[in-house]
């Protein structure tokens, strides 16, 4: 069973995503409400995959992504955002994200993206 950490400042969104992942057969080992906690969760759990919201307090998702990539260049991270702004997606992908999901989540789409992200060869 693959371990996943979810980072989103919205408890509602964390619960939605957690429900989808658990029903999909994944183990959610941690949840973070801001970017700083997300980086600490990554260090603590070394998950197979992490989801990061773009807009979070203390340290945004892009900042957390960059910090985690400094810890482990092979980290598998999917960015999530309710803002489908092209700039955020381009910045996230340039910074090392595997994929980008726009909220609201579609269950089948999420599970497919996560499955691909977990099996995609890393550079």
Q: Is 65 helix (H, G, I), strand (E, B) or coil?
A: helix
Q: How many domains does the chain have?
A: 1
- Note down pLDDT in tens along the chain; length 123 residues: 999 999 999 999 999 999 999 999 999 999 999 999 999 999 999 999 999 999 999 999 999 999 999 999 999 999 998 766 667 888 999 999 999 988 887 899 999 999 999 998 876
- In CATH, what number is assigned to the domain containing residue 37? 3.40.50.2300
Identify the pLDDT of residue 88: 82
Torsion of CA 25, 8, 114, 109, to 10 degrees: 100
Domain extent for 30: 3-119
* CA–CA dist 97, 66 (Å, integer): 9
Q: How much is the pTM?
A: 0.94
Question: Which of 49-73 are b and which e, b meaning 16 or more Cβ less than 10 Å from the residue's Cβ?
Answer: bbbbbbbbeebbbbbbbbbbbeeee
Measured at the alpha carbon of residue 25, what is the angle toward residues 22 and 26, in degrees to the nearest 5?
65
Identify the pLDDT of residue 43: 98
């Amino acid at each position: 069973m693959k371990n996943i950490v979810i980072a989103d400042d919205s408890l509602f969104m964390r619960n939605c995503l957690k429900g989808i992942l658990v029903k999909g057969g994944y183990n959610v080992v941690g949840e973070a409400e801001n970017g700083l906690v997300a980086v600490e969760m990554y260090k603590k759990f070394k998950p197979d995959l992490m989801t990061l919201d773009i807009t979070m307090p203390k340290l945004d998702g892009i900042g957390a992504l960059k910090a985690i990539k400094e810890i482990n260049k092979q980290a598998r991270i999917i960015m999530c955002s309710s803002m489908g702004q092209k700039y955020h997606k381009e910045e996230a992908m340039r910074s090392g994200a595997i994929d980008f999901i726009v909220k609201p989540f579609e269950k089948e789409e999420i599970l497919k993206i996560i499955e691909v992200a977990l099996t995609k060869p890393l550079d």
